[in-house]
Chain A
């Protein structure tokens, strides 16, 4: 046997080869260990240009360049002459090039390369069979990229290792031919037989939903191995929906998540509730994290903007729109919704209401590619309300006058007295909200990179107009950058992600929807022929058309917002399994709002002394976060242990101010506050939020069979008083994958996955706004300072004991995969109890204030059943059909009370949901009087119920159940996605009585056609009371609006989304020179089936309903 180690050059022929080899190895390992640190200093790009040179010389050269040490037995490296030319090659490429054509193979162990003959000698084969061999190889994906951290185990013994950074493994002492199981998260496991040089083991990516990567707090997992309740929505789903806020892409898709859109305005408020409303009065928003950086859950502004908000939002300081509107949906790779304690306790105080993690797109290695996504379309109001035409309207008005004994219309009743044209009949819905909104969205990105560095740069442009007459648009431009880089040894990694979006929202100053459905149909033309506003003066010259719907449109409103979210993640692996990471995040969201009130918008009466005015407000939110973490992974026994310990320091500031400039000499100067003779500060705000936490997680996975997950966090928040600033949170989660047991495998082979999981833990909420515990003195605004000095005053009492709301969450879930995961079923039950409710405790004013921020031991319970079924119905080469169905049955209830304090405020009731309303019982129209009547508290009929004594009926407006049903069909290159969203609920329906008293003339006199079924004479059986201009009829109608009459079924099934696409045939693509091109049609909110009579069962009310948006577009990869 000819052994040659050219770097040592010491032949020990008398020793058995194995011992010799071990000795050499020890020496080499010692040296390489000593060199470990400096070895990293060698460049790993190999550059060689040699002609007819000995292999030894070439290898020496490589050694110099890389630090790899070479061994060869049975072969004299000097004898082979090779020609090789390499540029920036890695070690594998280099060696393959060097040994090409030679009867040699190589094996790399750490920093040592063994070069040996390909064909083993007979003796060796015998030895290998008699003794154990050392199996080695490399695990890669289908694109030949290494999979570091993959597990390689001997099936028989369970003994195993993980692959290194290059995907290599080296398993000592394995029987030749023994079965090895190679597995990696998100990939199908593979069985291979062991041999000395196994080359590349290629793992195929798992198509099972169970193996998709789920992003969780400070890590990732898969549905297969998760112990928590997490739902993941991927980019492919988001990009199929023409929405301007990524949250809206989740509607109907996530069990346990209820989302309501306030209106159809761009940037509208969105109500988001994960597993119900936990807090009675305080924040109920989930915790948003974008690439590890916590993001605002509500916008704060100095003055309330008129962008319609949705009921249920709770952040102090005023709300305008939703901050997630300032995230480009196209930049998002995945949205993960974390619901139970197991998933959220590590976020501690901030995640009582669940967490929504947004992960943006990252660069992928490979050839540089350019992706384009272009779409354009229209939006419109889907439904039109049937309201009275002029004939019916005048009939109502005249009858009302007659009922009230008014003989001739009074001076102000312009609709009847001849000042307005009585024959004019306008469909105001068509005039005011009948336009088509335009929708344009263009996205482009470039991505690519090699093994060491990857990048992605994306940019987007989005423009939406709306359905009102006039020139209004919301325009957004955005840029998204991601760069990842790692050292060659993969120990040091850096990732940078930054998203910047600028939004210019020119909205109409008012929502015209209410005018559209309630203006008198014979209201005059809004504009005069010369383009000025028509005020329709009467003979005396007095304005009769003060509610001219387009008058506010002379005002201009502009909101400019910029949003930057950036994050740097650094990590370094010290030892195998031990890694230190730190993320540094920064977010700033700034908005500037300008409203101009030119004199052209004034009524003539106000013009005499009126001068134009304008308001300017700015708001700046800044937040930074630093999160150092240490992770440690290792195998213990037959399980895998993952440890995480980390810390968070976060600080957010909010600054804002609003000023009013008035008495401008000319409307032309309105944009310049300096030109205003009078400047008033309308308000200013300032807040600082500081947060500090220490957290840890222990995860132990025993053979993918039993998984235990323990999380803990200690949190401090500046929102609380010095006495209770810190609190501990924690959770324990466990999963039993029973399908891994031999019993199941043998008797229930159709069960490809069966997992039972449960978790219990605590999370908290500090969404109470800053400074609630501090005793604050604010300056007292005074027109003329007292003695020339500004006074200070205090409005509130301070509670230094103020502390966390705490939610205890219990979760039980069953996850089943049937028939090779073709059908996946998840059932989840949760019971979340929130206590320590932050409520204002009413106080006698002798204490100085009428209430104080306080933790009351009120307990709110949210229980819910969540069911998801994913199935791959048909899966063939040409035709695929998958479905996904989810349903949630929630229940919210106040289960425990502190005294009767709350009850006496007529707001909350024991054993009732938080949002319950107590109303009068409606009892129809009295046949004699023609007025609405009610059932009093004693069961008797009363014409005028008394508040609160006769409020006897509870109305629960929470959804009874909700969910979605999605189908994906593809045939060859065609594919269609259809999502139906459904909600079962009761909602407030104003059409039951009309907006105001039917028959009275005011700013909003028109009513739905259904109101025509009214009482006219004694004995009439009618649905509605008599028409009237006022008096007693208005008291009974105001009682009716507080009765159960108004709460009707507002359930709906909505065709939420349809997306159809067609991938162009390959030949066409080639001709066009594009890698990929597909054309698509997408529609959002296409139609709705409901019994609700108002405009929309989701937005209810009088606001602009969510628009139906239909777009066409193309997706191109260059």
Chain B
């Protein structure tokens, strides 16, 4: 006979209490019992903007992505940086290697097939706008951030949003203007008229100018640094100058570009082979490379290796004959920013602004790098100012500004060779100068052709040379058809 447990009065009372305890605790705090924090592997959207470090990291994440995704990774350009490459193919800057038979060929021959050429800037830019909108909302609401940090971050986010819309509106025309993170509203947004998008860009940039620091800051946003890899007031000003130029608001374009040009203790032109270095004083905003063993992604894309060109290489494109021919023999940029390789009897010229394209296992931190991907630089501001002045009728000051750039390139000053230049000639001289100064950088050429309405004239000659046919519809890229399918209010660009 086994008998081991003898409940007594105390046990009974204990049980009653326990029962009472269990039943009350278990069910009063119902809601609490099923609330969870984010997993340790991530931070919830609720908390991410509650500390300086994590808020900064959200913006850092955006720069990292823009900088890090190589032009070939996951497609033919998976981030902004390939804007220069793909628009270069679409326009008159680049020639594609023989044998490339993928999406690149369709960009090249101006016959993008919306349904199958599924790579699209649209798809990489809008998710960033979502994060930026969340950041603007989260940071604005946050009570726990250091004020200096908060201001700077809001400025960075607004600048980045403007930067995103600048490219969207230029590549696609009317685009849905998404300015908050609520998908229930955004999922049915129609395309917003261009003017409104531009208004938002200007608004954001003006805010950014007020919010952003004068100085380049390090990762804490509290200390100054020499590296120019985070947006500052001057970065916002540079984009604002460019935006006014695109909007033909010549007066403001002049005003904004002058702000940078006059800030000469920070910015001055460098020698041609110093421009794209990470020590460049010409740089207004650069992206720090983030991939082991490499400097910039542009160099990896354009520099043709000793093994010669091949369809499966990174960019698989070289400088077009038209661009090459257009350089003046004296132009030092043709010598310093273009290199060549002769392979199987054919000489290929390729962009050589960035000079280090090969893998070097020693590169494990910025300390071993020489070149940073340059987004905004002083030379463009001179060209903006020249154009703004010229359109306002101030030709002589315009020529002066243009000559700054020409002089550096080893060209004669127009002030000397052609002091009485007419406005139409000056207009095309500036456009040509932009072509030679800014080639394969951030889509300048393609956007210039469009904003000056010269695209149809030029592309109807160029496109057939590339095996395509030109139609004015092709100056806008197609909206991804999935987006149209999931949002009936979106309409495709004509021709697609």
Which residues on A are within 8 Å of B, measured CB to CB? 37-38, 40-41, 43-45, 88-90, 93, 449-453, 485-489, 491-492, 494, 572, 580, 582, 626, 628, 630, 647, 649, 655, 684-692, 694, 716-718, 722, 725-726, 770-771, 774-780, 782-794, 797-798, 842-850, 852, 904
Contacts and interface: CB of A to CB of B under 8 A. Distances in A.
B34 A450 contact: no
5 closest residue pairs by CB, A with B:
A848-B130, A791-B61, A775-B45, A450-B2, A452-B2
15 contacts: A451-B2, A453-B2, A488-B6, A492-B11, A647-B23, A691-B34, A771-B39, A775-B134, A777-B44, A777-B57, A786-B219, A792-B58, A794-B45, A794-B131, A843-B486
B254 to A, nearest CB: 33
A689 B230 CA distance: 39
Contacts of B366: 784
B34 A847 contact: no
Interface in B22-42: 22-23, 26-27, 30-31, 33-42
A771 to B, nearest CB: 6
Contacts of A798: 45
Contacts of A844: 186-187, 482-484, 486-487, 490
A40 B55 CA distance: 65
Interface stretch (B242-250, B258-266, B283-291): B283-291
Contacts of A93: 1
A452 B187 contact: no
Nearest to B123: A845
Contact of B61 (A647, A776, A793, A849): A793
A688 B65 CA distance: 29
A721 to B, nearest CB: 11
Given A44-B3, A787-B230, A778 B35 contact: no
Contacts of B2: 449-453, 485
Contact of B65 (A630, A776, A793, A850): A793
B230 A792 contact: no
Contact of B292 (A572, A722, A771, A783): A783
B41 A685 contact: yes
Contact of A580 (B19, B42, B133): B19
B8 A572 contact: no
Contacts of A40: 6-8
A17 to B, nearest CB: 36
Nearest to A684: B41
B70 to A, nearest CB: 11
B126 A774 contact: no
A40 B5 CA distance: 10
A689 B1 CA distance: 45
A107 to B, nearest CB: 22
A849 B130 contact: yes
Nearest to A793: B61
B304 interface: no
A774 B42 CA distance: 10
B181 interface: yes
Contacts of B218: 787
B326 to A, nearest CB: 37
A945 to B, nearest CB: 18
A516 B53 CA distance: 56
B126 A782 contact: no
Contacts of A582: 18-19, 22
B127 A782 contact: no
B346 interface: no
A788 B288 CA distance: 10
B187 A725 contact: no
Contact of B38 (A449, A774, A845): A774
Nearest to B188: A844
A447 B141 CA distance: 66
A227 B57 CA distance: 58
Interface-centre pick from B45, B61, B484 (highest chain A CB count, 10 A): B61
A713 to B, nearest CB: 13
Contact of B229 (A38, A487, A726, A786): A786
Contacts of B57: 777, 779, 789-792
Given A786-B67, A789-B60, A688 B39 contact: yes
Interface-centre pick from B127, B291, B366 (highest chain A CB count, 10 A): B127
Contacts of B46: 775
Contacts of B134: 775, 794
Given A628-B23, A718-B36, A846-B129, 11 more contacts: A93-B1, A649-B26, A690-B33, A716-B34, A777-B44, A778-B41, A778-B43, A786-B64, A786-B67, A792-B43, A792-B54
Contact of A717 (B11, B34, B487): B34
A790 B19 contact: no
B44 A776 contact: yes
B38 A776 contact: yes
B485 A904 contact: yes
Interface in B187-219: 187, 189, 218-219
Contacts of B129: 846, 848
A792 B52 CA distance: 13
A94 B281 CA distance: 106
B478 interface: no
Contacts of B35: 690, 718, 722
A843 B480 contact: no
B4 A485 contact: yes
Contact of A770 (B1, B27, B36, B225): B36
A33 to B, nearest CB: 14
A709 to B, nearest CB: 23
Nearest to B176: A846
A686 B39 contact: yes
Nearest to B127: A848
Nearest to B122: A845
Nearest to B19: A580
B224 to A, nearest CB: 13
A628 B41 contact: no
B416 interface: no
A688 B26 contact: no
B315 interface: no
A779 B65 CA distance: 12
B222 interface: no
Contacts of B123: 845
A850 B482 contact: yes
Nearest to B485: A904
Contact of B6 (A90, A487, A688, A904): A487
Interface in B462-496: 480, 482-487, 490
Interface-centre pick from A44, A453, A630, A647 (highest chain B CB count, 10 A): A647
B230 A778 contact: no
B212 to A, nearest CB: 16
Nearest to B183: A847
Interface-centre pick from B3, B7, B487 (highest chain A CB count, 10 A): B3
A452 B1 CA distance: 7
Contacts of B178: 846-848
A608 to B, nearest CB: 16
A649 B186 contact: no
A510 to B, nearest CB: 28
A785 B365 CA distance: 8
Nearest to A786: B64
A144 B289 CA distance: 84
A780 B34 contact: no
Interface-centre pick from B22, B53, B187, B486 (highest chain A CB count, 10 A): B486
Given A88-B1, A692-B26, A791 B62 contact: yes
B219 A788 contact: yes
B364 interface: yes
A777 B34 contact: no
A725 B58 contact: no
B43 A777 contact: yes
Given A725-B31, A846-B126, A786 B290 contact: yes
Given A716-B30, A778-B41, A789-B56, A452 B127 contact: no
A690 B36 contact: yes
B64 A791 contact: yes
Contact of B5 (A90, A494, A787, A790): A494
